[in-house]
Amino acid sequence: MAEPQHPTSGQEDDKKSGGWGCLKIILALFAFFLLATIGAGYYVANSEIGKKVIQAAGEGYSIFKEAQSAPGADALRAAGCDEAAVFNLERLRTLVESFNSDGEGHFDADMDADAIVTCGMKSADSPPKCDALAIIYRDATSPKTDFGVVVKHRTTGTVNTNDGQVLCDGLYDAQGKRKSDLKDAQKTVPEK
């Protein structure tokens, strides 16, 4: 009678391990990338520029959330704006200037105004007019200084971002009277 043949120890190990070898490699790579990410995050959070970026991100988020609930934003939404925000230009200037050690950061919206009123529209069919929104904002807030108004149409995603079609814009005095287009208002500001 012939004795049954037993597999050699190498063949037996192959059958037992199955896909565990691949899983071990995947877990090791995951652990490596996790540690690398933690290390990079720690470095960024403790470097001077990393601290500035984290602070600026927090400040930018704060400015945006404040703009959405600022006085006058609800009145603008009631007037037909899908999204409305009132941005404090002094806070935006301070945020931009914080990235330049000289305090001379460049900010495109450098005009003689304290606020920019934005109205985002998902459809360009019948947007509110800038002149009408200026009066609505004036009535809701009684501004003390000039302010800008921008109505913008976006075809995708969130409407209060930099891409999209500007339907109208203008610089208005505290009484809601149109002074100029925003582009012209930026050109007339003297250099600081």
Locate the DSSP E strands across the chain: 83-88, 115-121, 147-153, 165-172, 178-180
H/E element holding 165? strand 165-172
Angle between helices 20-46 and 48-68 (to 10 degrees): 80
Q: Please, how many CA atoms are within 13 Å of residue 50, restricted to the half-sphere of its CB?
A: 8
Q: How many whole angstroms separate alpha carbon 119 and alpha carbon 169?
A: 10
Q: What is the pLDDT of residue 18?
A: 59
**Strand pairing class (115-121; 178-180):** unpaired
Alpha carbon distance 53, 63 (integer Å):
15
User: Which pLDDT does position 80 carry in this prediction?
Assistant: 92
Per-residue pLDDT of the chain (192 residues; tens, 9 = 90+): 566 565 555 555 555 555 677 888 888 888 888 998 998 888 877 888 778 778 888 888 898 999 999 999 999 999 999 999 999 988 888 887 776 655 454 555 557 788 999 999 988 888 899 999 999 999 999 999 999 999 998 765 554 455 678 889 999 999 999 998 887 766 554 444
Given this model, what pLDDT does residue 55 score? 82
Which pLDDT value is given to residue 11? 52
For the chain, give every domain's residue range.
Answer: 69-187
Q: Look up residue 46 and give its two tokens.
A: 């403790």
